[in-house]
Chain A
Amino acid sequence: MAIPVKVYGPPLSTAVSRVLACLHEKGVDYQLISVNMAKGEHKKPDYLKIQPFGQVPAFEDEDISLFESRAICRYICNKYVDKGNKGLYGMNPLAKASIDQWLEAEGQSFSPPSSTLVFQLAFAPRMKLKQDEGAIKQNEEKLAKVLDVYEKRLGESRFLAGDEFSLADLSHLPNTQYLVNATDRGELITSRENVGRWWSEISSRESWQKVVEMQKPT
């Protein structure tokens, strides 16, 4: 029987891995379909039909086709509300509002500087691209300010949106994994007591460890 859920893109992509982590948390089976980015497959007409910006991931479930990893995650949580981690997107409107707040904070405040740092420090060297020292310094300062807010918040509650692990924490896993394990700026996370504690806890979840395994070279 064909598995209706399909994810297009490599597990190494932060946005793809965000969706994979969510599928694992919700216990939803899926097919991972490779997209040969080195050969520009993501910019070809067939792929652009399902992701018009030419980025990964793209996603299909029965007759629906989606992109934007955070929208895909919200869909998975709504459609499969009774599967796996039932509280991942909140069990009531107030919990959901808090999760949306920190999911937006991730997307608007955490992601831009951390994505730039991950690209500059982890990916640019691998791609033999010259690093932009100015961008590294600027984004390190931005990220430090954001993490200072997180440090205070995580001193008040165990996870970002409350006392349960949620989609808001999950959304941080991909960039932080690279920051801590593939750059020399991991101490941005590990030197902050509450942020460090939170990172240890969320990254050791089985759903994320499965993704880390998938990211290893075969």
Chain B
Amino acid sequence: MAAIKVHGSVFSTPTIRVFATLYEKDIEFEFVPIDMGAGEHKKEPFISLNPFGQIPAFEDGDLKLFESRAITQYLAHEYADKGTPLVIRDSKKMAIISLWSEVEGQKFDPVASKLAFELAIKPLFKMTTDAAVVEENEAKLAAVLDVYETRLAQSKYLAGESFTLADLHHLPTIHYLMGTQSKKLFESRPHVSAWVADITARPAWNKVIALRNKY
């Protein structure tokens, strides 16, 4: 039985963020599906793992964690010598990774997630997409991606010449958006487009897709 467990759903972007990290690091884990329809995430025993009642929750032996970006950081540092290096020890290089991870968490994801919800999730549940919300958030995402376009003209990946946690964190939401009308925002920016093509072609990411397709 694996020491590492991930409690969540294959459709949840934060859960997928953790899977992507585990596959990049070549770490074995047990996936414990949480039945959100039945409200399992709002009850014990899950609530003890994440008091906010959100997925994912994570265990590594006795260590219990929530917040996907805290889990990925823990994995990247604790298993630094295994699989793909996703963080760098040098404090200045690490700061740049941290910076673009914050940009993803504070600027990219809040907007991109709203779009993914309207354009990819709502249709699955036969809910009506709110066109005004889509318009507003596509404009916001365009402004963010303009900054990314300039950045990715300077280096191959967000934090420098290597793929790091900062790039990885974007994969789940980008994956949803590339299946919607919002993909045009990525495709119309050449450096952003090349970066998306590169990171979504990674073997570890394709293992995540394969896991998802099983459910």
A173 to B6, alpha carbons, bound, how many Å? 32
Docked Cα-Cα span, A70 to B51, in Å, equals 23
Contact across chains for B74 and A66 when beta carbons are under 8 A apart: no
B207 at the interface (CB under 8 A from A): no
Using C-beta atoms within 8 Å of the partner chain, give the interface range for chain B: 20 to 34
The verdict on A108 contacting B95 (CB below 8 Å), with A94-B63, A101-B66 known, is no
Q: Is A64 positioned at the interface, with any CB of B under 8 Å from its CB?
A: yes
Contact B91 A75 (CB under 8 A): yes
A64 and B150 contacting across the interface, CB-CB below 8 Å: no
Specify which chain A residues have a CB less than 8 angstroms from the CB of B103 in the assembled complex: 53, 68
Interface-facing stretch out of B105-113, B118-126, B173-181, B189-197? B105-113
Contact B67 A101 (CB under 8 A): yes
Q: Check A112 against B107 for contact (C-beta < 8 Å).
A: no
| In the bound complex, CA of A74 to CA of B92 (Å) | 11
* Main DSSP-derived SS at the B contact region: helix
Q: Are B52 and A149 in contact (CB under 8 A)?
A: yes
B67 pairs with A100, CB closer than 8 A: yes
A104 beta carbon closer than 8 Å to chain B: yes
Residue A205 at the chain B interface, CB threshold 8 Å? no
Interface mask (B66-86 → A, CB under 8 Å = 1, otherwise 0): 111110011001100000000
Q: How far is the CB of B9 from chain A (nearest CB, A)?
A: 18
Alpha-carbon separation in the docked complex, A146 to B51 (Å): 10
- Number of residues of chain A lying within 8 A (CB) of chain B: 32
Chain A residues within 8 Å of B91, by CB: 75, 78-79
Q: How far is the CB of B146 from chain A (nearest CB, A)?
A: 9
Query: Hey, which chain A residues are within 8 Å of B96, CB to CB?
Result: 64, 66
The answer to the question of A109 belonging to the interface, with a C-beta cut-off of 8 Å to chain B, is: yes
- Which residues of the partner chain A approach B107 to less than 8 Å between Cβ atoms? 53
Given contacts A53-B107, A68-B102, A100-B73, A75 and B67 within 8 Å (CB-CB): no
What chain B residues lie within 8 Å of A63 (beta carbons)?
Answer: 92
Least Cβ distance of A91 to chain B in Å?
14
Interface: B65 (CB within 8 A) = yes
Contact assessment for B102 and A70 in the assembled complex, using a CB-CB cutoff below 8 Å: yes
Taken together as a complex, chains A and B put the C-alpha atoms of A146 and B102 apart, in Å, by 21
Check: B98 CB closer than 8 A to any chain A CB: yes
A45 vs B66: C-alpha distance when bound (angstroms): 39
Within 8 A of B (CB), among A67-108: 67-68, 70-72, 74-75, 78-79, 93-94, 96-98, 100-101, 103-105, 107-108
B99 touches A109 (CB 8 A): no
- Is B127 part of the contact surface with A, judged by Cβ < 8 Å? no
| Minimum distance in angstroms from A48 CB to a CB of chain B | 9
- Bound-complex Cα distance A96 to B87 (A): 15
Which chain B residue shows the least CB distance to A79? B91
Q: In the complex, A103 Cα to B92 Cα: how many Å?
A: 20
Is B151 located at the chain interface by the 8 A CB criterion? yes
Known: A52-B147, A108-B67, A153-B51. Contact between A74 and B95, CB under 8 A? yes
A97 to B63, CA, bound (A): 9
- Say whether A68 contacts B99, CB under 8 Å: yes
Chain A residue with the shortest CB-CB distance to B62 = A94
Determine if A152 is an interface residue (Cβ-Cβ < 8 Å).
yes
A67 touches B99 (CB 8 A): yes
Q: Is the CB of B63 within 8 A of A78?
A: no
Could you tell me which B residues sit within 8 Å of A by CB distance?
51-52, 63, 65-70, 73-74, 77-78, 91-92, 94-96, 98-99, 101-103, 105-107, 110, 147, 150-151
What residues of chain A have their CB less than 8 Å away from a CB belonging to chain B? 52-53, 63-64, 66-68, 70-72, 74-75, 78-79, 93-94, 96-98, 100-101, 103-105, 107-109, 112, 146, 149, 152-153
**Would you mind naming 7 contact pairs between A and B with Cβ atoms under 8 Å apart?**
A66-B95, A68-B98, A71-B99, A74-B98, A79-B91, A93-B74, A104-B67
Q: A63-B92, A68-B103 are known; give 7 further A-B pairs, CB within 8 A.
A: A52-B147, A74-B98, A93-B77, A96-B77, A103-B70, A104-B67, A104-B70
